[in-house]
Amino acid sequence: MMRKKRPVWVPVVTGLILKDSNVLVGCRPEDKNLSGKWEFPGGKIELNESPEEALKRELREELGIDAKIERLKLVGTHTYGETGILILFYEVRYWQGEPKAHYHTHLKWTSLEDLKKLPLPEANQKLLPQIIEALKNE
């Protein structure tokens, strides 16, 4: 009997890092999938990590900051080919250190208006109205 293939889901955490009314985005490096797209810093949750621990680690590795991970603002799903991603967006308003591009090619602080004009990963593009709504209420 044919068995149905088990779907593959990848859990991803990202930070909505806020300063005044701007949010921090980073441009994905050349050698990665989705290169040249502007994303919210973050990455995959490793085994034995809580989502908050994973995001704290990613923000340390990618930006060199020690961040306080606050509320879960939004959760979304997206499918890239055969793989599903479950993406969790956390609010980050406080951190120590100055964000530096250790992983991304560039970082920038962008207004919600300008966020709409940037090339974003499909998963973010799709959720943009909800992301903007979540950030507006800050």
In the complex with ligand DGT, which residue's Cβ is closer, 99 or 121?
121
Nearer to ligand DGT, 3 or 80 (CB): 80
- Closest separation in Å from C-beta 32 to ligand DGT: 5
Nearer to ligand DGT, 91 or 124 (CB): 124
Footprint of ligand DGT (CB under 6 A): 12, 14, 32-34, 39-40, 42-44, 85, 87, 121, 123-124
The minimum distance between CB 124 and ligand DGT, in angstroms, equals: 5
- For ligand DGT, the closer of residues 97 and 119 by Cβ is 119
Report the residue number whose CB is nearest to ligand DGT.
43
In angstroms, the CA 100 to CA 61 distance is 10
